[in-house]
Structure 1
Amino acid sequence: MPGPVKSAAPALGVFVGLHLVGLLVLALISHKVHGWDLLHLLGNRYDSRWYDQIAVHGYGRQAPKSYAMFPLFPAMMAVLGPVTPGPTWTAGVLISWCAGLAAAWGLYMLGTHLRDRRTGILLAALWAVLPHAVIEVSAYTESLFTAFAAWALWALLTRRWVSAGILTLFAGLTRPSASALVAAVGLAAGVAVLRRQDGWRPWLCALLAPVGFVGYLAWVGVRMDRWDGYFWVQAHRWGSRFDGGRYTATALVNYLTRRTDIAMYTCAFVLLTALVLLALLATERWPWPLIVYAALLLATVIGTAGYFHSKARLLLPAFTLLLPLAAGMANIRTRNAALIIGGLALTSAWYGSYLLLIWRYSP
């Protein structure tokens, strides 16, 4: 069973405190510049509207384009919406806050298991000050998926095979990013089976892990009357298809060699930094399932054409890339670590405000 909440209280407190700083900055800027409602900014913009429509009307009204959105998050909104004050999308904000806390707890447990409590707290803190961290408390699916992924990987490393399989199943109903988690968990379970470890539990984990992800793709295929229905929707309704990274490489060169918007520079910086962190993760010999998860998630984001401006947000669940940074910062003075996190928090707060108030497209 997970450790008591009391032991994770510092990580949870840091997560909440850092996001309150971000929301305070957002509220001050939005009130001064636009006078927009803070809750509306977090819950009723871009992808959030799609989840709200699915929660209220189901997939039928906007089919087939809505099939790109996985079902668990809008299903939770539909359940909580009637008992949550305000429109249904306010339930999405509430879910993301709760999921963000669960994710911070999972990151703390993962970092503590791999190194020590200080690393666990810093891992949760670093995740909370990423450039797109405002999405972690918005009505998007990144926090919910990260919570499932963090706890699934912790369960995997502590050989809680059934829990890892169940958590991966739910992650597979949350985001397409689950393909990386399914592969990492499935491979680890397969290795345990070949080594004849832990009896029947790795077998059950391997069977459970892909059910959510594959099940949803199959459901879309049935609804579309074609086996590749989900991928057809992504390609023909959203203009997003896997091209092995050609689009991303071309976009990187273009955006780094001419004047463009700060959002494009930020995404380019995040992508290049992620590649460096992946190399560090591999060379420092962290557990291989964590490397597989990060590598496959990064490969999916880089290898998919379109929506360059969203690629940094899509990497929010790639939290294992932060492990080398968290472990390194755990060895410096607390004051210095606090100054670094504080500076990143203010930068993230400003950039999050920019994304929600000035940037014209989905973050």
Structure 2
Amino acid sequence: MSAETLDRPVSSAAVRSAPRRRASLYRAAPALGLFAAARLTGMLVLAGWAWHTGRSPRALLAKSWDSDWYTRIAAHGYGHTLHWPDGVVQSDLAFFPLYPGLVRAVTTVLPVTGGTAGLLLSWLSAGAAAWGIYLIGERLYGRPTAVVLVLLWGLLPHSIVLTMAYTEPLMTALAAWSLYAVLTRRWLWAGTLAALAGLSRPNGVAIAAAVLVAAVYAMWRREGNWRAGAGAVLAPVGWVSYLLWVGARRGDLLGGYFAVQDGWTSRFDFGIGALRFVRDMLRGPTQFGFAMALVITGAGVLLFALLALVERPPLPILVYTAVLVVITVFGSGFFESKPRFLLPAFPLLLPPAHALAKARPGAAIVVITALAGLSFGYGVYALTLARMAL
């Protein structure tokens, strides 16, 4: 490094970064437009069916299932527990604090309800996530693949969650930009964003693992510096801090949070509970949502194999996706939610995105149209017809 480089004002980096951000946003504009069109169409289809059945689309998007827990935490803080007749105890400590904290901040600044604040945050986060996903796809495979990658993510069967007051959009945005920071060797940004992702969802530990492994590998190859070490230290801080806080509150520092999750029947048992559920499901009649969860989870495993063996992405991308897949496949409880747990695993879509970008336009249009129909239809089913949580 020359003396001239050392003497250059620090502010010049910020000056140069602004045009780069604008240029990247300009390149991503077509992908972001397609993503917005896909999600807006999905919401309009849902709204049409909801109005037809006399229900409120806003209530479905802002108050369904976990959304109600998050808005309650935002309004009243932690401390709400449900005691069921069968002895099950469900505590709101299972829900990580970043999203409800942001909802609380928005309602403090703007004259909106918690549900509306949650939707605004989710929509903005989904857009930020799509931008970060585009940049990763562009860096790895070029612009055509990146555009298809973003569109596919917006047309997944469970993509209605991206327009609900749920945490998946926020976590995915933080994870995507953290991964992009790793790929561009911005280690402090990578660690900070990973720490925030760890405060958003339990499976946010995946991005912490990715940053930690990538930083250690870079330093082992003598390609890293003190920033890589700092990023590695920062990455798991959010996730670990919340687990320890819940543990201290429950009187069991290391096991308290996992006891809370156990009350929700959520635990990591190497897939034993999931296999039992699938066995029982295949023995008799089952709900459509359970069958779809099995198909989507199986597709996720297949796509991960293609990603690892055929695409061979950079190490942080592979680690991040692997941890998400392992948590989803080998965890038990709420089998119907497994596809939602895979929503942040956008690198799984790299193999089909790469293939569709190279396919004939007619074939690509047929595939994307079919996926759009499935996405819009399943979103309506999941929120208005299914008798199970997302």
User: Same fold, TM exceeding 0.5?
Assistant: yes
Are 2:347 and 1:320 equivalent residues in the alignment?
yes
Q: Which residue number in structure 2 is paired with residue 126 of structure 1? A: 152
Shift of 1:112: 0.2
Q: Please list the CA deviations of residues 159-184 of structure 1 after superposition, one character each: whole Å capped at 9, or x if unmatched.
A: 11111111101100000111221111
- Are 1:12 and 2:39 an aligned pair? no
Count of aligned pairs between the two proteins? 361
Structure 1 residue runs without a partner (length 5+):
none
Contact 1:21–1:345 (CA under 8 A) maintained in structure 2: no
The residue number in structure 2 matching 1:347 is: 374
Kept in 1, the 8 Å contact 2:321–2:347? The answer is yes
Asked if the contact 1:81/1:89 (under 8 Å) is kept, the reply is no
Whole-Å separation in 1 of the counterparts to 2:365 and 2:104: 39
Instruction: Tell me the equivalent position of 1:44.
Output: 63
User: Would the alpha carbon gap of residues 301 and 69 (structure 1) be closer, same or farther in structure 2, given more than 3 Å must change?
Assistant: same
Give the C-alpha shift of residue 84 in structure 1. 4.2
1:220-299 → structure 2 map (5 Å cutoff): 220-227=246-253, 228-235=255-262, 237-284=263-310, 285-299=312-326
State the distance in 2 between where 1:10 and 1:164 align: 26
Which of the two has higher C-alpha Rg? 2
Instruction: Quote the residue 1:30 is aligned against.
Output: 50
**Letter of the 1:314 counterpart:** F
Structure 2 counterpart of 1:16, which letter?
A
Deviation at 1:336, TM superposition (A): 3.0
Q: Gaps (5+ residues) in structure 2? A: 1-16, 83-89
- Give deviations 1:266-291, integer Å, cap 9, x for gaps: 10001111111111011112222222
Distance across 1 between alignment mates of 2:189 and 2:284: 48
| 1:261-317 deviations in Å (ceiling 9; x for gaps) | 110111000111111111101111222222221111111112211111111111111
Q: Do 1:84 and 1:90's aligned partners in 2 also have CA atoms closer than 8 Å?
A: no
How far 1:83 moved relative to its partner? Answer: 4.2
1:299 and 1:183 map into 2 onto residues whose CA distance is 13
User: CA RMSD for the aligned pairs?
Assistant: 1.5
The letter for the 2-side match of 1:51 is Y
2:12 maps to what in 1?
none
Matches of 1:106 and 1:253 in 2, distance apart? Answer: 39
2:340 and 2:301 map into 1 onto residues whose CA distance is 15
Q: Which has the higher contact order (CA 8 A, sep 6+)?
A: 1
Summarize the alignment of residues 140-219 of structure 1 with structure 2, pairs less than 5 Å apart: 140-219=166-245
Farther off after superposition, 347-356 or 282-291: 282-291
> TM-score with structure 1 length normalisation?
0.96
Counterpart Cα distance in 2 of 1:61 and 1:292: 35
The one-character-per-residue Cα deviations of 1:205-254 (angstroms, maximum 9, x if unpaired) are 1111011111111111111111211101011x212111110111222333
Q: Contact 1:107/1:124 (CA < 8 Å) preserved in 2?
A: yes
Provide TM-score, normalisation by structure 2. Answer: 0.89
**More off after superposition, 296-305 vs 44-53:** 296-305
- Percent identical pairs in the alignment equals 43
**C-alpha displacement of 1:154:** 1.3
Q: Secondary structure of the residue that 1:286 maps to in structure 2?
A: coil
CA distance in 2, matches of 1:101, 1:223: 35
Task: Tell me how far 1:86 sits from its aligned partner.
Answer: 4.2
101, 117, 120: which one aligns with 1:91: 117
**Match for residue 72 of structure 1?**
98
Instruction: For residue 255 of structure 1, report the CA deviation from its aligned partner.
Output: 2.7
